[in-house]
Amino acid sequence: MTDFSTQQWQAWGLMALLGFSAASALLASTSAIMAAAPAEKAAAAGAIETMAYELGAGLGIAIFGLLLSRSFSASIRLPAGLEAQEIARASSSMGEAVQLANSLPPTQGQAILDAARHAFIWSHSVALSSAGSMLLLLAVGMWFSLAKAQRR
């Protein structure tokens, strides 16, 4: 689990690796799609590839954003002494937890911030681990699919 507030270099390195990996995969897929398309249908193939990329990005944001949100709400451990409305508010998002913490006495506010920070780091790790696992499974599936296609 990487804490972005204390392990900046590790976080930067992992995010750079993710960016280069995603860019390499996108370039390879675009090249394969365009190479497979007949010249007279290249524009249509490019349009479909772009639309598929946008759809995938939108679905990824929605699915992993929901996973992040649900994981945050389930993992936050708030201090005792909060009212039910305050618990619901702080559990809904990191932003709400920060706003609530700023409106409370410093000791109680800091406890809420610490709980929210820990829950956010955990939920971020859950979302990234899920995405990484999914990419790994897809890569293994593609590896075996391509190996099977080459044997034919």
- pLDDT tens digits, 116-142: 999 999 998 899 889 889 989 988 998
- pLDDT tens digits, 68-82: 999 999 999 999 999
CA distances from residue 147 to 26, 36, 40, 103, 144 in whole angstroms, order as listed: 21, 18, 30, 60, 5
Query: For residue 72, what are the contacts with CB-CB under 8 A and spacing of at least 6?
Result: 91, 93, 94, 119, 120, 122, 123
Residue 50 is predicted with a pLDDT of: 92
Question: Which tokens hold the place of 65?
Answer: 């954003």
Residue with tokens 């780091």: 121
What is the C-alpha to C-alpha distance for residues 72 and 21, in angstroms, rounded to an integer? 27
- pLDDT tens digits, 40-68: 999 999 999 999 999 999 999 999 999 99
CB 139 within 8 A of CB 130: no
Identity of the highest mean pLDDT range in 1-5, 6-10, 33-37, 148-152: 33-37
